[in-house]
Amino acid sequence: MPVRIVTDSSADLSADEARELGVEIVPLSIRFGSEEFKDGVDLSTSEFYERLTSSAELPETSAPSPGAFEAAFTKQAEAGADAVVCINLSSKLSATIESARTAAKATDVDVRVVDSLTITAGLATIIRLAAQAAADGASADDVVALVESLKPRIRIVGALDTLENLKKGGRIGNAQALLGSLLSIKPLLDVSSGEVAEAGKARTRRKALEWLRDKVFERPKVEHLCVAHGMAPDVDDMLELLSPRYSRDEIRVGVIGPTIGTHAGPRVLGLTWLDPA
């Protein structure tokens, strides 16, 4: 196995899928007050959202240490990898990639660190395609080139269901949060550039879902379409809105984990896809 893939837990790959792909996941940390958990290791996604909705304060996330990445790189080398391609969440949103770069310089393993400029299901799509290329015998240079070619094609848009997390995090005041709640405003986001950009506001949840659908339907066809959500109750409604063009078996559904869910809040719902080459 000449090339192996390493990523971080913001990709929201399940342990089973990561094992099938042969991908090593380095977890970020989630801290609720004095309690610290490793994302996906000692805090499940369902447990995280239960804590998130009941906590008065917003939890904090922190990047893995360089040592955690170095251990992952060494593990792959000892298992027979000739090279490692480490693909991480956007450098515009986290210091995770800096830890990976520091670790790469400290090890004798041949490691290429790549900034995905995306998050959650967008990152997962890149990881799947990179892992498949590696399994098919692609060199490290080829895998890096593939990832670089995919990055400009990834699109990710989302709708927040609540302003509560922004209020807890000090991003907006109580008055604005109250006004937004009274008006049922749903902030719309575009993360396609690797950073969070406001894309508008919807007056209702239904309007927010329709906006997400319309962003997909602006394209004649998209690839690797995914619905990513924070335990949202209306995933089926989103799938129904997409059904005129995309059948259920064409759409991957995934849950947004603690790393991104901390900031996006419960019931966040987003779409990711690849624009055609």
Whole-structure pTM value: 0.92
pLDDT in tens, 219-239: 999 999 999 999 999 999 999
Q: Are residues 99 and 198 in the same domain?
A: no
Main-chain dihedrals φ then ψ at residue 275, nearest 5 degrees: -70, 145
pLDDT digits (tens, 9 = 90+) for 260-275: 999 888 999 999 999 9
CATH no. for residue 207? 3.30.1180.10
Three-state DSSP class for residue 113: strand
- Which residue, 136, 152, 168, sits at the end of a domain? 152
Structure-block tokens of residue 22: 């042969």
Query: Does one domain contain both 87 and 133?
Result: yes
235-256 per-position pLDDT tens digit: 999 999 999 999 999 999 999 9
Q: Do 31 and 142 share a domain, yes or no?
A: yes
Q: Which amino acid appears at position 84 of this protein? A: V
Query: What is the C-alpha radius of gyration for the chain, rounded to an integer number of angstroms?
Result: 19
Number of separate domains in the chain: 2
For residue 181, the enclosing domain spans 154-274
**Is there a single domain that holds both residue 143 and residue 24?**
yes
Task: Answer with the one of 109, 133, 152 that is the final residue of a domain.
Answer: 152
Q: Is the same domain home to 140 and 217? A: no
**Would you state the pLDDT for residue 39?**
94
pLDDT tens for each residue of 157-185 = 999 987 665 555 554 444 444 444 545 68
- Give which of 240, 257, 270, 238 is closest to 17, Cα–Cα: 257
Shared domain check, 199 and 130: no
